[in-house]
């Protein structure tokens, strides 16, 4: 069974139709092209880092690892952004990635 953050579960309960539409849109976008799941998650991770979305970085780092990405690949996807989004934002995103890597080690 998938583990979802408390915030997501609360939104899903309160706005069931909206969250279902968002989930379906994500599935449709992934199915629309040739990229594999791991690559798609790494791209979404980079976008999440760029907009400084801690929850999305956690989510896409977790999903990328579940799709077969190694922790170093996840970190590299974020490091690649340094010249684009700046080191402070990359540093923050890497700290959020480390939350996920540490969580994975505890399990």
Does pLDDT of 71 surpass 80? yes
Mean pLDDT of 2-22: 89
Cβ within 8 Å of residue 72, ≥6 positions away: none
Mean pLDDT of 44-54: 97
Burial state string for 57-88 with b = 16 or more CB within 10 A and e = fewer than 16 = bbbbbbbbbeeebebeebbebbeebeeebeee
pTM: 0.88
Res 2: pLDDT: 58
Structural domains in the chain plus CATH codes: 1-33 (no CATH), 36-106 (1.20.1290.10)
């Amino acid at each position: 069974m998938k583990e979802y953050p408390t915030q997501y579960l609360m939104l899903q309960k309160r706005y069931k139709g909206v969250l279902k539409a968002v989930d379906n849109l994500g599935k449709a976008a992934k199915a629309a092209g040739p990229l594999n799941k791991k690559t798609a998650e790494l791209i979404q991770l980079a976008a999440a880092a760029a907009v400084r979305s801690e929850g999305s970085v956690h989510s896409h780092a977790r999903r990328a690892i579940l799709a077969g990405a190694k922790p170093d690949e996840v970190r590299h996807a974020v490091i690649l952004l340094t010249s684009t989004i700046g080191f402070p934002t990359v540093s923050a995103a890497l700290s959020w990635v480390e939350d996920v890597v540490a969580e994975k080690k505890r399990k």
